[in-house]
Amino acid sequence: MVSALIPLIGLMICGAVIALETKDLLSGIISLGIIGFALTIVFLILQAPDLAIVQIIIETLTLIILIAAVLKTTIKDSIESLKARKVILWVAGLVCVAAFIFASLKAFADISAFGSPVLRMAEYYLSNGVTGTGAVNLVAAIILDFRAYDTLGEATVLFTSVAGVVAVLRKKGRT
């Protein structure tokens, strides 16, 4: 499992460095998207599909909103400077896509086959859920006692994405 995480962490670090060092705002946003989608694959490898679903939905919506905001607010450059930049951006984009595909294939090799018993704790949750926790029902027992950190992670992802969107779209406080 760790061997599948190393290329993804490397891809996330490269995406963070590109996002910090690039002068083009759109390239920075796309680099942040690479980080988010790689994190989704990390969640899948770590067998947290609920976090992966929340992460991919929030990441996609945030990217759409940020890209739309950048495209609405940026000024177009002259045509001569765009031709050279376009080639460089295409090459950089293809390299990033190739790195993402390579890291994804390496990561997906470690994920269990469809239908195999991935959830080895499910039987324990079902048999000891209500009696072991004192919860009212099985769903509450699993969500609040057994999977509390997952639920906290989901709430953190949702809160952080909402705070980011509010910060980007606010009208007051801009210079």
In the predicted structure, residue 174 carries a pLDDT above the cut 60: no
Instruction: Give the number of other Cβ atoms within 10 Å of residue 19's Cβ.
Output: 17
Tell me how far the alpha carbon of residue 124 is from its chain's centroid: 30
Question: What's the pLDDT tens digit per position in 13-41?
Answer: 988 898 888 888 888 899 899 999 999 99
**Section 120-148 average pLDDT:** 76
Question: What's the pLDDT tens digit per position in 34-73?
Answer: 999 999 998 888 877 778 888 998 899 889 988 888 888 8
On whether the CB atoms of residues 34 and 59 are closer than 8 A, the answer is no
